[in-house]
Amino acid sequence: MDKNNRQTFKTEFRAMGTTVSADIVLEKTKEDSARKAFREIRTIFEKNEKIFSRFRPDSELSKINQNLGKEIRVSPEMLEVLELCLKFNKISEGYFDPRVIENLERIGYDKDFKSHDFNDRSGKEIFLEKIEGGLEDDLIIDARMRAVTIKKRIDTTGIAKGYTVDEAANYLSEKGFQNFIVDAGGDMLAQGVNDEGEDWRIGIEGLEDDRLMLKLKNEGIATSGISRKRWTIGGRKFHHLVNPKDPENFSYEIKTVTVIAEKTVEADGRAKVLVLMGKEKGLEFADRHDLKALFLDYKGNIYLSRRMKENILS
């Protein structure tokens, strides 16, 4: 495509509790095809919100959680995300666990964060329970029948946005779009190049662009951290990243972790885990598993895994 004939078409809307945007680089005469694609992307996000939201009583997730111990047929999207939950739980040594939903509700996170104030000055005591037993014992999947049985309630929202970004990106690729970026609140997938013919440039939340920027090409990226979703109950500080291994300990060592992977959902599932692990164990885990990861602490210090250096914009 001639550089002088390139144009970036953009859309933005609200879905899944965040701002979703998409940029498509096309010839200037292809505006109609971009508009059609944007309508489909919005439909994909609205569809998945109805599947994965834990704040909607009519969502598929809510219906599953209301049928504990019963085998229930699920959508292809839910089946794939539940299989990913088992995968991430296993490779993270249990740090990723969708059964944290009850502890999230006990600390007040039982409604949409953006629309509610979670702070509570009352002196009520909060007791959080360590999750016992393997996830595979409480989440039983029959892939052939596309059915699941859960014995404890689960929360799939931790990777739902990343999964949906990938679904939207897959749609664009299948329709022949080669250069685009889909972004759902910082969970992104970038394909091809921008309208300058260069790799997509991504800033890091909490860092000035002149200090560090990342480059992406045919990759997904996700950032997880505790800088946004934090609140206080009875003088005790909480955030939304509950450690299933040690739920009473809310660490504030790491502000954010950014992970780059082939798919956004793969980055999403790992970023949260690395925050919970902390800097030392998280970096060791990232290097051992060949992950691209960037850790940012509250003093502004940056720590990079070995492979993340490949994506630093020089």
On the question of pLDDT at 53 being above 70, the answer is yes
Domains of the chain in sequence order: 1-314 (3.10.520.10)
Helix crossing, 31-52 with 157-174: angle to 10°? 150
164-196 residue pLDDT tens: 999 999 999 999 999 999 999 999 999 999 999
214-269 residue pLDDT tens: 999 999 999 998 867 776 776 677 767 888 888 788 788 889 999 999 999 999 99
**Which residues share a beta bridge with 154?**
none
Which residues 6+ apart lie within 8 Å of 117 measured at CB?
231
Instruction: Give the position of tokens 């793969």.
Output: 266
CB-based contact 99:138 (threshold 8 Å): yes
Which residues 6+ apart lie within 8 Å of 290 measured at CB?
307
pLDDT at 209: 86
